[in-house]
Amino acid sequence: MSSEDSGGSAAPRGEDPQAAGRGNDPVSRRAAAIEAILLDVDGVLTDGTFEPGDEGAGIPERKRFHSRDGLGLVMAKKSGLRLGFVTGRRSGAVRGRAAELSLDYLREDCFDKGPAFEEACASFGLLPEQVAFVGDDVQDLPALRKAGFAAAPADAHPAVLECVHFVADAPGGRGAVRQIIEKILDARGLLDAALFRFWG
């Protein structure tokens, strides 16, 4: 599968959008260096909607995740990438998802995502150019600006769309994360194995 087939589009930020989508373009070269992926949760792994809970009263917040995004995260883990969530909210649903996926890093209650990005890089022992960040809203900008590969769902805030290297065709919570992960795996030469050889 070529990176053209994996869809999405390269956005500006100093790169030539016309050159993107092939294996040796600047965006694919950035993706090829990625060893870990950090993701915002609301609006990235979900469509941004949630039903508030009350943790003190034992009422969990409810979110909806997409199964193809979940399998993409499993594919990334099985391919040797490290994964983390960096979210501004506290949610048992997110902690449960993180445990289910054996995530390597989880930050909740985090509105200062630039320092969180740096902390995650240090905990992974990786340089910023080896770490991707996926975000959809303006509080993600400090981390997106530091990331070696910055990506967003199609329905991200316009300021985010202008900042990132890669925009998925799909919106948040509807397959954007799967597409971004496949872009990274494709650039690293790991996509065919992840799609066709992990599953028997």
**Which residues form the interface with Mg ion (CB under 5 A)?**
40, 42-43, 136-137
How near is the Cβ of 197 to Mg ion at its closest, in Å? 33
Which residues, 6 or more positions from 88, have their beta carbon under 8 angstroms from its beta carbon? 40, 42, 109, 110, 111, 139
**Would you state the structure tokens that stand for residue 58, as one six-digit string?**
């034992």
How near is the Cβ of 49 to Mg ion at its closest, in Å? 11
Closer to Mg ion by Cβ: residue 10 or 86: 86
Closer to Mg ion by Cβ: residue 146 or 188: 146
Query: Which neighbouring-strand residues pair with 79?
Result: none
How near is the Cβ of 57 to Mg ion at its closest, in Å? 25
Largest CA distance in the chain: 53
Closer to Mg ion by Cβ: residue 105 or 188: 105
**Would you state the structure tokens that stand for residue 47, as one six-digit string?**
């469509």
Integer Cα distance of 21 and 12 in angstroms: 13
How near is the Cβ of 124 to Mg ion at its closest, in Å? 22
Closer to Mg ion by Cβ: residue 69 or 137: 137
